[in-house]
Chain A
């Protein structure tokens, strides 16, 4: 698939959880794909919040993120079809196998060949041999691989990876690097991380400096 013309931008983006705690504050940025952007910042600076807003599962308190594919705005309600999100908050049905979880997601996305899509995604993260095991039996590293597979399942032009290397062994981290290398050529990848090795995968970066644990607003 050829690279999609992708852009993600924000102006005056602010999100508050409750009255005092701030997720992100007055954020301005504009990134065009293809390429990789590292989103860095202290714990509590709003990296995960930003990715959730871009994915359309969180509405910003003020301002918004604009996602454009091939020059067309993607409304917030349809962003899930154009964005793949892998975040530590993502959990799967433990009574299903990893493959069943992905096939369900592929069917719900309306993909033409859910089984093939699930098999391909599992293979890309090195989880094909354990795809038939129930998620309840997965280690934290295997669950992290499954999150990556879930994000890749529908071949989205925008990939959002939140701490993608967490819980992964060397082989898993290599799989992440391989995924990022492949996806940077066909779309935009945003990696929320403070891991220097993951930051090195990006050619651009966005540092969130507004708030952290040391400044609870």
Chain B
């Protein structure tokens, strides 16, 4: 028989592995995310050409590409469970917090893969100026955590509502704006030789706040 509350991490780990295996077999999210990233970057650079001296445009383009590439899949983490009616099975084997933490870890991993493909492609196609790798990685990393935390939280909240698509956009927008603003600002600052500390602190604090709020909310979700 299961050992109840003491088995949190094995459950989170099992859900993470299940998500990875499911994504590997269906390629549901990764193909869509990479297709979006590659086509949007190719289209922009084909139309505008290299943009080595426009760090403002480059920063915005990078974050818009990352945001939409990632959201195309991450927003569906819970919706897929609802639509395939597997959410009941999950709820019978794990607590809402365990489920959400497993999904959050998967979303982080997913974002890591999207970043690993998108960023080198972006730097190559746009002929962006050399990056300062420390500040660049810090801003990207903290921004990714904040992105994953917000999309996981919103996905969990809207999973059982009828108009999920419209709700996701409406609820996500105010949550994602601070991430986008700080991400763009920090990325531009590292190209312009300016300090990124303020933007990094904002992204970090925002990610922690979202994560904390999520932990408080998750066990009250899906009460029918």
Residues of A bordering B, CB below 8 Å:
52, 55, 57-59, 77-78, 80-82, 85, 87, 89-96, 100-101, 104-105, 107-111, 150, 154-157
Which of the 9-residue segments B41-49, B92-100, B147-155 touches chain A?
A: B92-100
Say yes or no: A93-B14 contact (C-beta < 8 A), given A58-B224, A80-B91, A85-B92: no
Contact B93 A108 (CB under 8 A): yes
B191 to chain A, nearest CB (A): 42
B15 in contact (CB, < 8 A):
yes
Please report the number of residue pairs spanning A and B whose Cβ atoms sit closer than 8 angstroms. 90
B interface residues, how many (CB within 8 angstroms): 34
Give the interface SS of chain A, mostly helix, strand, loop or mixed.
loop
Say yes or no: A81-B1 contact (C-beta < 8 A), given A108-B94, A110-B7, A110-B10: yes
For A93, give its contact among B5, B11, B18, B223 (CB under 8 Å). B18
Contact B1 A90 (CB under 8 A): no
Can you offer 8 A-B residue contacts whose CB atoms are under 8 A? A52-B224, A78-B4, A82-B1, A85-B92, A90-B89, A96-B25, A110-B2, A154-B2
Which of the 9-residue segments B80-88, B109-117, B175-183 touches chain A?
A: B80-88
Contact A95 B85 (CB under 8 A): no
B163 in contact (CB, < 8 A):
no
- Report how far A101 CA is from B25 CA in the complex, Å: 14
For A104, give its contact among B18, B85, B222 (CB under 8 Å). B18
Chain A residue at minimum C-beta to C-beta distance from B92? A80
Contact A89 B95 (CB under 8 A): no
- Report how far A94 CA is from B85 CA in the complex, Å: 11
Say yes or no: A109-B7 contact (C-beta < 8 A), given A81-B2, A91-B84, A91-B89: yes
